Each structure stands twice: as structure tokens, then as C-alpha cells.
Amino acid sequence: MKRRRSLLERHPARFSQTAMSQITYQMAQSRALRLKCPQCGEGPLFSGLMTMPHHCSHCGFVFERAPGFFLGSTYMNYGFTTLSLTAIYMGLHYGLDISNAVLAPILLAYCLVMPLILFRYARAWWLAMDCYFDTPETDMDEANWQRQQADLADRARQQMEREAADR
């Protein structure tokens, strides 16, 4: 699989001086549960009920790590809702012998409400796990970025020299 571009490469201005460190599994879990930025554990992940700011107000970490990044969290949300729905239905219908007619509206309401309740936690968990398995920053990225910037500056200078020579 192609390596995802690092945060530094995508947002060099914001992160040129910041080298972020690897978080532990426990840190990732607890920050997700508290709906906090996975990188610093301080900045809130949501500014409204469902609104996510572009980046962390505390450390500047950009939450949407790639286009469509949070699509994965909807799969998690969907998966949890359907599995728990099945378990609840089995328990209530076959265990407690509650009829389908009674269960249908209750479980329908569950299907509608549960994903909304889980929305923020699914996103927080998805982001935290992604940061745990794919550290946003390393010293290697910093070095790569500096090399890349030097390369770009070189190319720009050569281009300008060529243009000057053409005139």
C-alpha cells in the first residue's frame, strides 16, 4: 500500500517546526472517549454537536487526515448498530418472547437514534486508532520535508534562470 503523505508534507507551513510523537494505545482510547484531539489530548474534537473544526485548537493537528478520511468511521458506526440491533432483537424476541409487532417500532427508533449518538465517538475512535497505527509525524518526515523543500527551491531558481536567459 502506498504510504499516506505525512501531515508535514500536506501542511508544511503549520507543522514545519513541530515533530509529533507516537501515542500509546491507552492514550488513543482515552482521548477518543473524551472526544479530545488524539495528538495532544487537549483540544476538543467537536465545536458543535456534529461540527468538527478543521484542526485542533491546542496543537494545530489537522483532523481530516486525507480526503474522505471519516468515511471509515461511518462503517464502524453502521457495523456496531447492526450487530447490536441483531443481538437486542435475538434477546428480546427469542429470549423474552416479545412479539415483532411490539419490537418493530422500538428497534426502528434504535436504528435511527443510535448512529446519531455514536457519530462523534465513531469519528473520535477512528481518528485515534489511525493516529496510533500511523503516527502523523516522525523525525524522518521532517528530514524528508526539508529535502523536498530544498529541491523545490532549487527547481524554482533554475526555472527563473531559464526565463531570464530566454529574455
For Zn ion, how many residues bind (rule: CB under 5 A)? 8
Using rule CB under 5 A, residue 124 touches Zn ion: no
Q: Which stretch binds Zn ion (CB under 5 A): 16-24, 54-62, 89-97, 149-157?
A: 54-62
Q: Give the alpha-carbon dihedral of 8, 44, 125, 3, to 10 degrees.
A: -10
Q: Which is nearer to Zn ion, 31 or 145 (CB)?
A: 31
End-to-end, the C-alpha distance of the chain in Å comes to 46
What CA–CA distance (Å, rounded) separates 101 from 10?
53
Using rule CB under 5 A, residue 89 touches Zn ion: no
Q: Which is nearer to Zn ion, 122 or 136 (CB)?
A: 136
Using rule CB under 5 A, residue 77 touches Zn ion: no
Are 118 and 77 in contact, with CB atoms under 8 Å apart? yes
20: CB partners within 8 A, 6+ apart: 7, 39, 59, 61, 135, 136, 137
Using rule CB under 5 A, residue 56 touches Zn ion: yes
Q: Which stretch binds Zn ion (CB under 5 A): 40-48, 93-101, 126-134, 142-150?
A: 40-48
Q: Which residues bind Zn ion (CB under 5 A)?
A: 37, 39-40, 43, 56, 58-59, 61
